[in-house]
Chains A and B, each alone.
Chain A
């Protein structure tokens, strides 16, 4: 039997499926330490998934709310915001010029502009037959309705009329209607707002809580009426709808130019575009999500270090076995691969489990807060899984090396 080497197949290294099976058996052979490191890894990945779902959910929520303000919006605010840099004109005139209804009307001349709605805002009291409550009053025009895409539940919007005229009519929010009229008819009824008696001509469709003004608790009146009521000439905002998305920058320039002319060459207004606001929020909350993901990634690194510890313990625990494998003809490469495969298995099972856990957590969040779109972004999921596998492998290298370099005689004595 001595010369049997001719019948033996050419000797190669251990086959990959065998290495994987060997690593799997080794991992399942020590259920306690295996489940602990899998748990650590899964918590890390789950943290990444859930936290980025929260961050990205916040981003989507805010962006969604802003988009619902209207489309292709350009908004004019009185006064110059500090972000424009130093302007010598501002140094001379300390108080900005009022933004007037005539300013708003003048903006209709701009080529890129489709609609313009002036907005004057204040609080007042509304009363009907002894029922009284405080309300937000918005003075505006008929064009405000299409700009903000308001829909009416009953009646009609503010009348198309000369902006300076101000008929004594009001469109009320749905909650105001409920509180003032209950189940009775509201259209055509007279209400007292401040010291004016107004006829209700329309009721807004209920929309629920949104960003900024809650339209369910709003009373809309003609803009000149509101200014008279609040005894003021200035506007809170001018809302402008551009003809198209592409025309927004052009409209912004034109609006700026017209107002500058009307204000004796002073740039004493701020013009913001919805796009810019959206982009800012998008960027801000995107950065927040990234930061949160970074923090969660620390827990992944910690999990990686734990996997390394577990693997180091495994190498020490199995010193005798490593010696035996060497005596039986295992090459250093085979032993290195076997331990690396085990580390990779621990981290990939942990990562997978953590992903499922994170998705379940995000699902639970969405169930609990239906308005909040808590979906983890794809990049975070991919980055989380890759980091988990990466750290697992990276931290598995050192223990595997240690196992492969073990002296077989010393290792065998440890049995």
Chain B
């Protein structure tokens, strides 16, 4: 069973009078544990694809099976639960809550899921250690470097032990060196079995993935898995 199975997915947007096909006739299977890079020019539909995979958006047509379960028909709250337990997000601009400390930011998904404080503290302490942030626990995001912020964001994305991590230009706001570091972190997670989908402009970053998807005009132009 594939982790992700998209069948004939279409997503259209209404822009004034014109209808834009952000995604059209998309079929895609991603197995558990894969490392997939989604590439393509701006407006090619890669962000829309990521939003669909993350259940932040709904397709106009087609079906999306996540772990064999059709998730397109779920209610918004049911989708929220799926996001909470199965999917972790890493954003280009980190998306940390500015008034919360690093530890509180990491704990946020658990807090939202109603996990008791004792359990949260235990898991946050472990995560801080794993990501080398032990002495940054009480720092607010504006007191952290870009690399540290993204590490906090990745720690947050993994704290619920999701099956799938979706990263949207995770190195876009970082310099080369810290970007490298962050990518290594993500790849380590993938090495431990988490499925990793990265959207990127960066050719070299894309090339590191086990599988490359090239998007253009809302269609899958090239899939290295099929080409091989």
Contact = CB atoms under 8 A, between A and B. Distances in A.
Interface in A1-22: 1-5, 7-9, 11-15, 18, 22
Interface string B24-41: 000000001100000000
Nearest to B50: A409
A325 B54 CA distance: 13
Contacts of A22: 111
A257 B114 CA distance: 81
Contact of B32 (A2, A9, A334, A415): A2
A406 to B, nearest CB: 11
Contacts of A357: none
Contacts of B113: 11-12, 14, 329
B89 interface: yes
A129 interface: no
Given A5-B85, A11-B113, A331-B77, A408 B195 contact: no
A328 B161 contact: no
A324 B95 contact: yes
A373 B48 CA distance: 70
Contacts of A11: 81, 84-85, 113-114
B56 A409 contact: yes
Nearest to A318: B97
A324 B54 CA distance: 12
A412 to B, nearest CB: 7
A12 B77 CA distance: 11
Contacts of B161: 1, 4-5, 7-8
A341 to B, nearest CB: 14
Contact of B194 (A2, A9, A326): A2
A56 B95 CA distance: 55
A12 B192 contact: no
Contacts of B56: 326-327, 408-409, 412
Contacts, number: 100
Interface residues of A, number: 36
A415 B112 contact: no
A26 B95 contact: no
B99 A329 contact: no
A83 to B, nearest CB: 67
Most buried by A among B93, B99, B192: B99
Nearest to B56: A408
Given A1-B161, A9-B119, A328-B156, A15 B109 contact: no
Contacts of B195: 2
A25 interface: yes
Given A327-B56, A328-B112, A330-B80, A412 B95 contact: yes
B172 interface: no
A332 interface: yes
A329 B114 contact: no
Chain B interface, DSSP helix/strand/loop, else mixed: loop
Contact of B99 (A3, A12, A29, A408): A29
Given A11-B85, A15-B114, A412-B91, A328 B108 contact: yes
A26 B99 contact: yes
Contact of A328 (B84, B119, B192, B194): B84
Nearest to A327: B89
Given A25-B100, A327-B54, A412-B91, A2 B163 contact: yes
Interface string B83-103: 111100101010101111000
A321 interface: yes
Say which size band chain B's interface belongs to. Answer: 35 or more
B76 interface: yes
Nearest to B86: A5
A320 interface: yes
A326 B80 contact: yes
Contacts of A12: 113-114
Contacts of B160: 8, 329
Nearest to A12: B114
A13 B78 CA distance: 12
A415 B85 CA distance: 24
A409 B13 CA distance: 13
Nearest to B109: A328
A333 interface: yes
Nearest to B113: A11
Interface string A9-47: 101111100100010011011000000000000000000
Nearest to B99: A29
B202 interface: no
B34 to A, nearest CB: 11
Given A2-B32, A324-B97, A412-B95, A329 B192 contact: no
17 contacts: A2-B195, A5-B85, A5-B86, A11-B84, A12-B113, A15-B114, A18-B114, A22-B111, A25-B99, A26-B99, A29-B99, A325-B112, A327-B89, A329-B83, A329-B84, A330-B112, A409-B57
Interface of A: 1-5, 7-9, 11-15, 18, 22, 25-26, 28-29, 320-321, 324-334, 408-409, 412, 415
Given A326-B83, A332-B80, 11 more contacts: A2-B195, A5-B161, A5-B163, A7-B161, A15-B114, A26-B99, A28-B99, A29-B99, A328-B83, A409-B51, A409-B57
Q: List the 8 closest A-B pairs by CB distance, nearest first.
A: A329-B84, A12-B114, A29-B99, A4-B161, A408-B56, A329-B83, A331-B77, A330-B112
